[in-house]
Copies of this chain bind each other. A is one copy, B any other.
Amino acid sequence: MSDPQRHSWREVRDRIHARILDRTWKPGDKLPRDEDIAEEFGCARSTVHRAMRDLSESGIVERRRRGGTTVRSDPVTRATLDIPITRLEVEARGGRYGYQMLRREIAEAPPAVAANFGLTAPHRMLRVEALHLADGRPYIREDRWIDLETVPEIAEVDLTRQSANEWLVRNRPYNRFQVRLYAHNASAADAAEMGLAEGAALLIIERTTWNGADPITTVRATTHPGYQLVSRD
Protein backbone atom coordinates (compact mmCIF):
# COMPACT_ATOMS: atom_id res chain seq x y z
CA MET A 1 0.00 0.00 0.00
CA SER A 2 2.54 2.51 1.15
CA ASP A 3 5.74 0.64 0.29
CA PRO A 4 7.74 1.67 -2.66
CA GLN A 5 8.62 -1.52 -4.56
CA ARG A 6 6.20 -3.85 -2.85
CA HIS A 7 7.43 -6.95 -4.60
CA SER A 8 11.09 -6.12 -4.99
CA TRP A 9 13.45 -9.07 -4.94
CA ARG A 10 15.13 -7.61 -1.87
CA GLU A 11 11.88 -7.66 0.03
CA VAL A 12 11.21 -11.21 -1.09
CA ARG A 13 14.73 -12.18 -0.03
CA ASP A 14 14.30 -10.56 3.37
CA ARG A 15 10.95 -12.25 3.94
CA ILE A 16 12.44 -15.65 3.11
CA HIS A 17 15.48 -14.89 5.24
CA ALA A 18 13.25 -13.86 8.13
CA ARG A 19 11.49 -17.23 8.01
CA ILE A 20 14.84 -18.96 8.18
CA LEU A 21 15.92 -16.82 11.10
CA ASP A 22 12.67 -17.37 13.02
CA ARG A 23 13.06 -21.13 12.39
CA THR A 24 9.93 -21.52 10.30
CA TRP A 25 12.39 -23.17 7.95
CA LYS A 26 15.23 -24.77 9.94
CA PRO A 27 18.73 -25.73 8.84
CA GLY A 28 18.46 -28.81 6.63
CA ASP A 29 14.79 -28.17 5.79
CA LYS A 30 13.52 -28.03 2.25
CA LEU A 31 11.81 -24.83 1.16
CA PRO A 32 8.73 -24.77 -1.09
CA ARG A 33 9.26 -24.58 -4.84
CA ASP A 34 10.01 -21.13 -6.20
CA GLU A 35 6.69 -21.16 -7.98
CA ASP A 36 4.73 -21.77 -4.78
CA ILE A 37 6.61 -19.02 -2.96
CA ALA A 38 5.93 -16.71 -5.87
CA GLU A 39 2.23 -17.49 -5.69
CA GLU A 40 2.13 -16.93 -1.94
CA PHE A 41 3.97 -13.63 -2.20
CA GLY A 42 2.03 -12.57 -5.27
CA CYS A 43 5.08 -11.97 -7.46
CA ALA A 44 6.67 -13.53 -10.51
CA ARG A 45 8.76 -16.66 -10.22
CA SER A 46 11.75 -14.80 -11.61
CA THR A 47 11.59 -12.40 -8.68
CA VAL A 48 11.75 -15.31 -6.26
CA HIS A 49 14.61 -16.70 -8.32
CA ARG A 50 16.50 -13.43 -8.01
CA ALA A 51 15.99 -13.44 -4.25
CA MET A 52 17.05 -17.07 -3.98
CA ARG A 53 20.20 -16.49 -5.94
CA ASP A 54 21.22 -13.82 -3.46
CA LEU A 55 20.55 -16.12 -0.51
CA SER A 56 22.44 -18.87 -2.27
CA GLU A 57 25.44 -16.64 -2.98
CA SER A 58 25.48 -15.57 0.65
CA GLY A 59 25.72 -19.19 1.68
CA ILE A 60 22.32 -19.22 3.43
CA VAL A 61 20.55 -21.73 1.22
CA GLU A 62 21.63 -24.39 -1.24
CA ARG A 63 19.84 -24.96 -4.50
CA ARG A 64 19.87 -27.95 -6.81
CA ARG A 65 17.92 -28.64 -9.94
CA ARG A 66 15.23 -31.12 -9.24
CA GLY A 67 16.45 -31.30 -5.64
CA GLY A 68 14.86 -28.04 -4.57
CA THR A 69 16.13 -25.43 -2.12
CA THR A 70 17.35 -26.31 1.36
CA VAL A 71 18.52 -24.21 4.30
CA ARG A 72 22.23 -24.73 4.79
CA SER A 73 22.89 -26.63 7.97
CA ASP A 74 26.45 -25.32 8.28
CA PRO A 75 26.06 -21.55 8.07
CA VAL A 76 29.22 -19.61 7.28
CA THR A 77 30.30 -16.00 7.23
CA ARG A 78 31.01 -15.31 3.59
CA ALA A 79 33.28 -12.30 3.19
CA THR A 80 34.55 -10.62 0.05
CA LEU A 81 38.06 -9.19 0.00
CA ASP A 82 39.55 -6.85 -2.56
CA ILE A 83 43.26 -7.42 -2.93
CA PRO A 84 44.54 -4.38 -4.79
CA ILE A 85 47.48 -3.97 -7.12
CA THR A 86 50.27 -2.95 -4.77
CA ARG A 87 51.32 0.14 -6.72
CA LEU A 88 47.77 1.50 -6.69
CA GLU A 89 47.36 0.66 -3.02
CA VAL A 90 50.48 2.60 -2.10
CA GLU A 91 49.53 5.54 -4.27
CA ALA A 92 45.97 5.58 -2.93
CA ARG A 93 47.45 6.05 0.54
CA GLY A 94 49.44 9.00 -0.68
CA GLY A 95 52.75 7.15 -0.69
CA ARG A 96 55.49 7.13 -3.30
CA TYR A 97 55.66 3.71 -4.92
CA GLY A 98 58.91 1.94 -5.69
CA TYR A 99 59.80 -1.44 -7.14
CA GLN A 100 63.01 -3.35 -6.89
CA MET A 101 63.86 -6.75 -8.32
CA LEU A 102 66.00 -8.77 -5.94
CA ARG A 103 66.69 -12.05 -7.76
CA ARG A 104 65.77 -13.89 -10.91
CA GLU A 105 66.43 -17.49 -11.88
CA ILE A 106 65.10 -20.28 -14.03
CA ALA A 107 64.63 -23.51 -12.12
CA GLU A 108 62.51 -26.54 -11.51
CA ALA A 109 59.52 -25.66 -9.41
CA PRO A 110 59.93 -27.08 -5.91
CA PRO A 111 57.19 -29.46 -4.75
CA ALA A 112 55.39 -26.82 -2.69
CA VAL A 113 55.02 -24.61 -5.77
CA ALA A 114 54.00 -27.46 -8.05
CA ALA A 115 51.42 -28.48 -5.48
CA ASN A 116 49.76 -25.07 -5.69
CA PHE A 117 49.10 -25.81 -9.35
CA GLY A 118 48.19 -29.42 -8.75
CA LEU A 119 51.10 -30.48 -10.93
CA THR A 120 52.95 -33.74 -10.50
CA ALA A 121 55.45 -33.66 -13.39
CA PRO A 122 58.45 -31.37 -12.86
CA HIS A 123 58.04 -27.95 -14.47
CA ARG A 124 60.59 -25.36 -15.48
CA MET A 125 59.63 -22.00 -14.13
CA LEU A 126 60.90 -18.47 -13.83
CA ARG A 127 61.36 -17.36 -10.26
CA VAL A 128 61.40 -13.67 -9.46
CA GLU A 129 61.88 -12.16 -6.04
CA ALA A 130 61.08 -8.49 -5.69
CA LEU A 131 60.30 -5.73 -3.25
CA HIS A 132 57.48 -3.22 -3.41
CA LEU A 133 58.33 0.00 -1.60
CA ALA A 134 56.22 2.76 -0.09
CA ASP A 135 58.14 6.00 0.40
CA GLY A 136 61.34 4.04 0.02
CA ARG A 137 60.48 1.54 2.76
CA PRO A 138 59.71 -2.14 2.15
CA TYR A 139 55.97 -2.63 1.87
CA ILE A 140 55.53 -6.08 0.37
CA ARG A 141 58.12 -8.65 -0.61
CA GLU A 142 57.05 -11.10 -3.27
CA ASP A 143 58.41 -14.50 -4.24
CA ARG A 144 56.90 -15.44 -7.58
CA TRP A 145 57.05 -18.48 -9.83
CA ILE A 146 55.88 -18.17 -13.43
CA ASP A 147 55.15 -21.18 -15.64
CA LEU A 148 57.49 -21.02 -18.64
CA GLU A 149 55.45 -23.51 -20.65
CA THR A 150 52.38 -21.30 -20.52
CA VAL A 151 54.17 -17.94 -20.55
CA PRO A 152 57.46 -18.42 -22.41
CA GLU A 153 57.72 -14.74 -23.42
CA ILE A 154 58.26 -13.69 -19.82
CA ALA A 155 61.82 -15.02 -20.06
CA GLU A 156 62.66 -12.14 -22.42
CA VAL A 157 61.01 -9.35 -20.40
CA ASP A 158 63.15 -6.94 -18.40
CA LEU A 159 61.78 -7.40 -14.91
CA THR A 160 64.19 -5.01 -13.25
CA ARG A 161 62.10 -2.03 -14.34
CA GLN A 162 58.61 -3.46 -14.57
CA SER A 163 56.96 -5.69 -11.97
CA ALA A 164 56.12 -9.16 -13.24
CA ASN A 165 52.58 -8.67 -12.00
CA GLU A 166 51.96 -5.62 -14.15
CA TRP A 167 53.36 -7.38 -17.22
CA LEU A 168 51.23 -10.46 -16.56
CA VAL A 169 48.04 -8.49 -15.95
CA ARG A 170 48.44 -6.90 -19.36
CA ASN A 171 49.72 -9.87 -21.30
CA ARG A 172 48.56 -13.07 -19.66
CA PRO A 173 45.41 -12.37 -17.72
CA TYR A 174 43.97 -15.12 -15.58
CA ASN A 175 40.41 -16.24 -15.33
CA ARG A 176 40.72 -18.40 -12.23
CA PHE A 177 42.65 -17.98 -9.02
CA GLN A 178 42.99 -19.08 -5.46
CA VAL A 179 44.10 -17.07 -2.44
CA ARG A 180 45.54 -18.43 0.79
CA LEU A 181 46.09 -16.30 3.90
CA TYR A 182 48.15 -17.07 6.96
CA ALA A 183 50.56 -15.58 9.47
CA HIS A 184 54.29 -16.20 9.50
CA ASN A 185 57.22 -15.20 11.69
CA ALA A 186 59.78 -13.16 9.76
CA SER A 187 62.78 -15.32 8.92
CA ALA A 188 66.30 -13.95 9.08
CA ALA A 189 66.15 -13.37 5.32
CA ASP A 190 62.76 -11.64 5.54
CA ALA A 191 64.10 -9.47 8.34
CA ALA A 192 67.22 -8.50 6.43
CA GLU A 193 65.45 -7.75 3.15
CA MET A 194 62.53 -5.90 4.67
CA GLY A 195 64.44 -4.13 7.40
CA LEU A 196 62.53 -5.46 10.37
CA ALA A 197 63.03 -7.60 13.46
CA GLU A 198 63.39 -11.32 13.03
CA GLY A 199 60.28 -13.10 14.27
CA ALA A 200 57.86 -10.26 13.55
CA ALA A 201 54.35 -11.53 12.73
CA LEU A 202 53.63 -10.96 9.05
CA LEU A 203 50.46 -11.58 7.04
CA ILE A 204 51.18 -13.74 4.00
CA ILE A 205 48.99 -13.59 0.92
CA GLU A 206 49.53 -16.47 -1.49
CA ARG A 207 47.86 -16.23 -4.85
CA THR A 208 47.85 -18.80 -7.63
CA THR A 209 46.34 -18.01 -11.02
CA TRP A 210 45.32 -20.04 -14.06
CA ASN A 211 44.01 -19.36 -17.50
CA GLY A 212 41.58 -22.22 -17.92
CA ALA A 213 43.65 -25.30 -17.15
CA ASP A 214 46.98 -23.56 -17.81
CA PRO A 215 49.00 -22.50 -14.77
CA ILE A 216 50.18 -18.89 -14.95
CA THR A 217 51.86 -17.86 -11.74
CA THR A 218 51.94 -18.37 -8.01
CA VAL A 219 53.06 -15.60 -5.67
CA ARG A 220 53.82 -15.51 -2.02
CA ALA A 221 53.43 -11.90 -0.88
CA THR A 222 54.96 -11.10 2.51
CA THR A 223 53.36 -7.94 3.83
CA HIS A 224 54.96 -5.45 6.19
CA PRO A 225 54.10 -5.54 9.92
CA GLY A 226 50.67 -4.07 10.65
CA TYR A 227 49.25 -4.83 7.22
CA GLN A 228 45.50 -5.51 7.26
CA LEU A 229 42.91 -6.85 4.88
CA VAL A 230 39.36 -5.58 5.33
CA SER A 231 36.22 -7.04 3.78
CA ARG A 232 33.98 -5.06 1.48
CA ASP A 233 30.74 -3.73 3.02
Minimum distance in angstroms from A24 CB to a CB of chain B: 14
> Is A178 close to B, CB under 8 A?
yes
- Bound together, the chains give a CA A166 to CA B169 distance in angstroms of 43
Q: How many Å from the CB of A178 to the closest CB on chain B?
A: 6
Docked complex: A84-138 residues within 8 A CB-CB of B: 84-85, 88, 92
> Once the chains bind, are A82 and B76 in contact (CB under 8 Å)?
yes
Main secondary structure of the interface of A (DSSP, over half): strand
A185, B173: Cβ atoms under 8 Å?
A: no
Interface size on A, residues (CB 8 A): 46
Does chain B have a CB within 8 A of A77? yes
Query: Are the CB atoms of A226 and B182 closer together than 8 Å?
Result: yes
Given A78-B80, A82-B77; A233-B173 close (CB under 8 Å):
no
Chain B residue with Cβ nearest A182: B228
| Complex interface bits, A198-225 against B, C-beta within 8 A gives 1, otherwise 0 | 0111111001000000000000000101
User: Do B59 and A74 touch (CB < 8 A)?
Assistant: no
- Chain B residue contacts of A79, Cβ below 8 A: 80-81, 83, 177, 179
> Which residues on B sit within 8 Å (CB–CB) of A178?
230-231, 233
Instruction: Give the residue of B21, B76, B176 whose beta carbon is less than 8 angstroms from that of A233.
Output: B176
Q: How far is the CA of A179 from the CA of B75 in the complex (A)?
A: 16
- Contacts A185-B199, A185-B200 known; A179 to B82 CB distance under 8 Å? no
Smallest beta-carbon distance A21→chain B, Å = 5
Give Cα distance in the complex from A166 to B78, angstroms.
17
Question: A201's contact among B17, B77, B81, B185, by CB below 8 Å, is which?
Answer: B185
Closest to A74 in B: B88
A6 at the interface (CB under 8 A from B): no
Query: Given the complex of chains A and B, what is the CA–CA distance between A17 and B223 in angstroms?
Result: 30
Residues of B within 8 A of A179 (CB): 77, 79, 81, 230-231
